[in-house]
């Protein structure tokens, strides 16, 4: 079965289930030689989505979903903005069961910028993946400076809602 590695808001299993349905299981995973960045431009000025970028020696922790059906990755594509916003790559993800090749979304060329911050509601989805993260990594995520107080319209533009996990 195919796997999908989530390092951003899709670390929240409820969000993934609302978007693509049930998955077989979820494992803690690590993408080595990559670093987490909040540099993916969103539809709201100054607000970022998560991204990963190659960086020797760095690591990105996240949730590795074993999909029930191969087409579930295509169901995720619109939520990830594939193929315009993010590209989809097959990369090795380390788990307690060994290395597993998984789909990973990485910001498309020209879609990143400096000095962006995630929305508080977006960051909360990352923190919901606590079960898949080391305590230190979760603490570092919790310390990320985020933008609070966005209205419902702005949250909608970001694909977020105060009322549903989707």
In tens, the pLDDT along 59-80 reads: 999 999 999 999 999 999 999 9
pTM recorded for the entire structure = 0.96
Residue 8, CA distances (Å) to 41, 73, 78, 166 in order: 14, 16, 15, 13
Tokens of residue 160, six digits: 């977020």
In tens, the pLDDT along 98-156 reads: 999 999 999 999 999 999 999 999 999 999 999 999 999 999 999 999 999 999 999 99
DSSP state of 147: B
DSSP letters along 1-53, please?
Answer: --EEEE-SGGGSHHHHHHHH--EEEEEEEEEEEEEEEEEEE-SSTTEEEEEEE
């Amino acid at each position: 079965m195919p796997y999908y590695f989530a390092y951003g808001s899709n670390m929240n299993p409820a969000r993934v289930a609302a978007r693509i349905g049930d998955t077989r299981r979820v494992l803690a995973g690590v993408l080595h030689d990559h670093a987490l960045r909040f540099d993916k431009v969103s539809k709201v000025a100054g607000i970022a989505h998560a991204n990963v970028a190659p960086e020797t020696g760095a690591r990105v922790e996240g949730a590795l979903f074993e999909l029930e059906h191969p087409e579930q990755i295509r169901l995720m594509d619109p939520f990830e903005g594939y193929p315009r916003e993010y590209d989809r790559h097959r990369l090795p993800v380390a788990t307690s069961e060994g290395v597993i090749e998984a789909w990973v979304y990485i910001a498309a060329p020209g879609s990143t910028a400096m000095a962006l911050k995630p929305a508080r509601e977006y960051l909360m989805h990352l923190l919901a993946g606590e079960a898949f993260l080391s305590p230190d990594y979760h603490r570092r995520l919790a310390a990320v400076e985020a933008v609070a107080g966005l209205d419902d319209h702005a949250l909608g533009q970001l694909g977020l809602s105060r009322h549903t996990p989707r």
